[in-house]
Amino acid sequence: MLFSHVPENLWRDYNWQIKNRIKTLDELQRYLKLIPEEVEGIKKTEGVYPMAITPYYLSLIDPEDINDPIRLQAIPRISEVDEEIQSRGEPDPLKEDGSIPGLTHRYPDRVLVSVTSFCAVYCRHCMRKRIFAQGERARTKDEIDRMLSYIREHEEIRDVLISGGEPLSLSNEKIEYILRGLRSIDHIEIIRFGTRLPVLAPQRFFDEELLDILDRYSPIWVNTHFNHPREVTELSEEAVDKLLRRGIPVNNQTVLLKGVNDDPETMLELFRKLLKIKVKPQYLFHCDPIKGAVHFRTTLDKGIEIMRYLRGRISGMGIPTYALDLPGGKGKVPILPNYIIDRKGDKFLFESFTGESVEYTIDEPI
Ligand SMILES: *Cc1c(COP(=O)(O)O)cnc(C)c1O
């Protein structure tokens, strides 16, 4: 363990984790022997795609493995700013940026709001890498009020997804301000937080005051982001348990990442571990063409292969929807392996989970 000298009470303290984030090459070299791609990567991404890693998340890295899946998600490599990689993808392919800063209204009933650019850890595959360069800035009260007014004026919105950056990095007071504002709007039914803190700094959820606030503004759902079975730890399980005990369901969104989790066995183990801690795998996202992160993309066939592998090996509860985001902000599309091999009228030929072809005639309903 890289941090075995840190006393338990500090290790379990979210503010200590944030205050002691590793943000420079010198600091990181104290803990890990870096490879040249990383040393150059940290230097060249400075100010463009900065680095920050909580001691907790860093401690999950196996120092002996240069291709450790957590290492690949947390430590910059030169490839991010490599000419070839930079020439591909776009800063905002999903067209999230619109007329109200931080607010994306794509589906009629749902709205996405980004309340801060701060994150506990800057994931190298982040779909909002474009905001890294803005520095660590929470939205001002005026900006939040503008978002709230927009939501108030649009009665078709029922569901608000609060994201960032890391929305739960805001102070309890700010979080409560946003929640109180949303709950004063009659047409808002559910509120969701898109937070990776259960993975990056689970200590945040050991704060009973935060849990009280989340409890008070129910119904609240949490969408989190586990990508690898090794991220499912005792502390992350404890964080999830704290949420579940307050009646907050925790769903997971994994991103399919080359070198990190693009392998059927790894994915199966991840989803099994998530079910064990009562987290529902909701989405498996195909990696978007994000400028500076396209080296994490796999083929679509890889995702389909993984989905096919899961069926029959894990409960349907553990199988997420594989989805991609259409370019230009046209929304998400689910992708499934094809289980209908052939069809003649009402006579179907299906493929079973074992790969067997099964004929099934489905009559006209009476
Ligand atoms: C993904 C997304 C949502 C939420 O979609 P769900 O399928 O309900 O999780 C909402 N708004 C935007 C802009 C999104 O990209």
| 123 is known to lie in a ligand binding site | yes
Quote the pLDDT of residue 366. Answer: 85
Domain architecture of the chain: domains with CATH: 8-77 (no CATH), 85-334 (3.20.20.70), 338-366 (no CATH)
Quote the pLDDT of residue 365. Answer: 86
Q: Which long-range contacts (CB under 8 A, 24 or more apart) does 4-13 make?
A: 6/55, 11/55, 11/56, 11/203, 12/203, 12/206, 12/235, 13/203
Residue 1 has pLDDT above 70, yes or no: no
Report the separation in Å between the CA atom of 182 and the middle of ligand 1, taken as the mean of its atom positions: 18
Q: Read off the tokens for 188.
A: 């808002």
Measured by CA distance, the residue closest to atom 15 of ligand 1 is: 331
Residue 287 bears catalytic tag? no
Ligand 1 neighbours, Cβ below 6 Å, are 104, 106-107, 110, 112, 161, 332
Quote the pLDDT of residue 2. Answer: 74
Q: What would the mean pLDDT of 137-146 be, rounded to a whole number?
A: 97
Measured by CA distance, the residue closest to atom 2 of ligand 1 is: 112
Quote the pLDDT of residue 206. Answer: 98
Three-state DSSP state, 163:
strand
Stated pTM of the model: 0.96
Average pLDDT, the chain: 96
Q: Shortest CA distance to 75 belongs to which of 118, 121, 30, 119?
A: 121
Residue 110 bears catalytic tag? yes
